[in-house]
Structure 1
């Protein structure tokens, strides 16, 4: 089975080009991190490489170092910003895994003892809540 081609009109590509707004918490030459608009918990952040690839399976391995360096920084920051008990890091590849946006991305979600993740239902969080949460993470990044 041949993998599908990268779609340059996926939502993360549009965010990278500035065509769709996002609540960014971090950006460097290789990676951006921004709030998930349908969070599974407070502080749910997405870390996205700027180089196009559908997912981990077709990505150039040279992007993994910069990507996961930022994933670690974001994980540390969300844990601190939300006084979380732990952090879930997830990454999906192809439809059978649950991937719905076909640009490589990593979910970073602060976790709290006894509190389950909310389903990824398609219900969007209020922009002001995302902005407030993004501010908390940016503040935690500057003090790490």
Structure 2
């Protein structure tokens, strides 16, 4: 793989996304604090409407009718906003490669929200919670994730 170019590392979960930059592969990782994102109150409250309930004809069972969990709906909306930020930054040429880190469900929501042109830049994904890592720990986890691919 080409060793040149800027890699962005995104650590995200349902409520927060942090962005880091690695100007040279295996080089220094620095946080981009101006890009840090937090889910808005509107995004956190997404999907909290009363949904239909289906009662089973036999027994005491009942369940929701085709509804998504409120947490996953909120996560999907926030990841869509993160994906938009990445799409705009990719269009400006701010990064060449992308590394995504976060819980598996958040990664899936983010990847599905990304356009194909940005997904093509994804170098590696790491399905672990890394949001609280400092830059040195993140660099170590990045090296381990690259070694697994």
TM-score where L is the length of structure 2: 0.26
Indicate the structure with greater helix content.
Answer: 2
Rg larger for: 2
Indicate the structure with greater strand content.
Answer: 2
TM-score where L is the length of structure 1: 0.27
